[in-house]
Structure 1
Amino acid sequence: MRDDLLDQLGSWHEEDEYQEIIDAIMEIPPGDRDYVLTSHLGRALNNLGRYEDGLEQFLTIAEEGKEDPLWHYRIGVSYYYLEQYDQALKEFKMADKLEPDDEDTLEFIDWCRREKAKKPAKVVKAAIAAFDSSNFWNDSEDALEQYVSEPPTPELIASVEEELVFKLPAFYIDMMKLHNGGIPNNTHYPIEGDASGAKSHISVSGILGIGREKSLSLCGDLGSRYRIENGGYPEFGVVICDCSSEHEVVMLDYRSCGNDGEPEVVHVDRENNYKITYLAKNFETFIRGLVNEETYVTKQ
């Protein structure tokens, strides 16, 4: 009887009759369904796009399935289409370990990695869309002459990153596509001071754009490499902003994330033995944290 049922389930699967599979197995009380029947049920639910229901079934047989590449593959499918890419990738990798070089498994591993790579980009696109740049820039004559360039092309971005040896933050790139370098209206960034008289803020005089033509661009005559090589600034990243004092800069710090990661933002004071002060966890946080100098004038 059971063999006849399994043969029938196999036939329905070949004929894409997935609801027939579900109906037949659901007639059997849950306590009487074994590992094989529950696996068939989960697969059929996945094939009908009912991934949450499929996942629920696979989780009930997790202990029995931990050494079965098919169980890892099928639950990986559920996670993938539920857009839980980290968990899906984990399951597909286990399936590949238990049964190496299966083409379908390798294809899903590649898809998971692509989706995981897209996710930060989606977040950044949403962030830049919500960023109001209309009142951000002070397009004075000096700013336009020294900083502002045409929006960067993909080719220019790639060549600048290659020259700098660091991948630029996605938020910064999208920001420069809207307005490539310049002087912001809000130039002050608060930092923690103390009773010793330490600074309560740093003052930015300009943001370097992506390019080479303007001196005050990343690869310009007075750009990041020039500051590092001639000013002795640390080589852990990219000089991204000038400061009101010529002995200070704001840098992207890649020490904790690697050359291709999301860098922190720090202030470096050359006159104070190149003191490094942490400012923000990423460039977007730094930009959104800039305040008008009147904030500090009012307090004095």
Structure 2
Amino acid sequence: MSDDLMEQLDLWHEEDEYQEIVDAIMEIPPEDRDYVLISHLGRAFNNLGNYEEALQQFMTIAEEGKEDPLWHYRVGVSYYYLEQYDEALREFKITDEMDPEDEDTLEFLEWIRRKTAKRTTKKPAKEALRAFDFSNFWDDSEYALEEYVSEPPTAELIESVEEELVFKLPAFYVAMMKLHNGGIPQNTSYPTGAEDYISISGIRGIGRDKKNSLCGASGSRVVIETGGYPEIGVVICDCSSADHGVVMLDYRSSGNDGEPEVVHVGQEKNHKITKLAKNYETFIRGLVSKA
């Protein structure tokens, strides 16, 4: 393999001329293609979106690639875009062990975490909803219908609201809102200790049309900014109890795409944060009638 060819391959790569790379290498008889050439070929196929062909090429040099973090990284890319996340995770973990703290590798590991989190939480949320009796959950008063309740959210609306909030909404919450989008529950109290409760005014729905929707006139961002509340997540309920304040989805420990805890944030200047539930489903199931 000549130095001139290697320089040309690198130049084509820098100029995003990936098909030129493929064409040039494919003209070389297979028996004359070494580890470096096949690595270039596989990378070019990845960049062209031909991940199956890329993977086939990489597998022909698997024995040599075992000790090469770049080989594992490129194989991981192929698996990732083929949506074979378990295999991609394996390869990127090996890459991270060989070349710790590589930013691209860490980014792919984070993307895989998000993808697999969606995959593992979607079905349980639906199953949990089926096991929960919503027949007497909501109090559809005239006020509730006017201030809280919207039409069921579309996939596009959910995505745009999450983008505006910069937080991934819990799967149980989204599934619940698809059945009844916001409102005032029959039971509005949540126990915080021995004979202590916080009481909520209502639950915000996904949307912008109603005043108390997540992105409405009195939505989450507005409440946080006007009330000086800590920017730890999403306000889902206002409180009507003694300390007033709000109930929030708290993403500090989970990250913006993880499963948030549910907390009460007081209205006083220090905005005391009190954990209520490990997740939104637990919070909903824990609502009681104080009376």
The alignment's TM-score, normalised by the length of structure 1, stands at 0.59
TM-aligned CA distance change 1:215 to 1:92, over 3 Å: same
| 2:223 is the alignment partner of 1:222 | no
* Letter in structure 2 aligned against 1:166: F
Structure 2 match to 1:254: 251
- Is this contact kept in 2: 1:148–1:180, CA < 8 A? yes
Return the offset for 1:142: 0.7
- Is this contact kept in 1: 2:148–2:202, CA < 8 A? yes
- Is this contact kept in 1: 2:148–2:211, CA < 8 A? yes
- Is this contact kept in 1: 2:89–2:112, CA < 8 A? no
- Is this contact kept in 2: 1:188–1:292, CA < 8 A? yes
| 2:283 is the alignment partner of 1:286 | yes
Structure 2 match to 1:118: 119
| 2:250 is the alignment partner of 1:243 | no
CA deviation vs aligned residue, 1:231-279 (integer Å, no higher than 9, x gap): 1111111100111148411001111111111110000111263111110
Structure 1 match to 2:128: 127
Return the offset for 1:90: 6.2
- Alignment partner for residue 263 of structure 2, among 262, 266, 287? 266
The separation in 2 between residues aligned to 1:192 and 1:158, in whole angstroms, is 36
Identity %: 63
Return the offset for 1:117: 3.9
Structure 2: 5+ residue stretches without partners:
1-64, 68-83, 98-108
CA deviation vs aligned residue, 1:19-70 (integer Å, no higher than 9, x gap): xxxxxxxxxxxxxxxxxxxxxxxxxxxxxxxxxxxxxxxxxxxxxxxx989x
* Letter in structure 2 aligned against 1:203: S
Task: Number of aligned residue pairs: give it.
Answer: 201
* Letter in structure 1 aligned against 2:282: T
Matches within 5 A, 1:1-300: 117-193=118-194, 200-245=196-241, 247-271=244-268, 273-294=270-291
Looking at CA atoms only, which structure, 1 or 2, has the larger radius of gyration?
Answer: 1
TM-aligned CA distance change 1:112 to 1:262, over 3 Å: closer
Q: Which secondary structure does the structure 1 equivalent of 2:193 belong to?
A: coil
The separation in 2 between residues aligned to 1:240 and 1:112, in whole angstroms, is 25
Structure 1: 5+ residue stretches without partners:
1-66, 70-84, 99-108, 194-198, 295-300
The separation in 2 between residues aligned to 1:161 and 1:90, in whole angstroms, is 26
Structure 1 match to 2:8: none
- Is this contact kept in 1: 2:117–2:258, CA < 8 A? no
Return the offset for 1:206: 0.3
Q: Which secondary structure does the structure 2 equivalent of 1:191 belong to?
A: strand
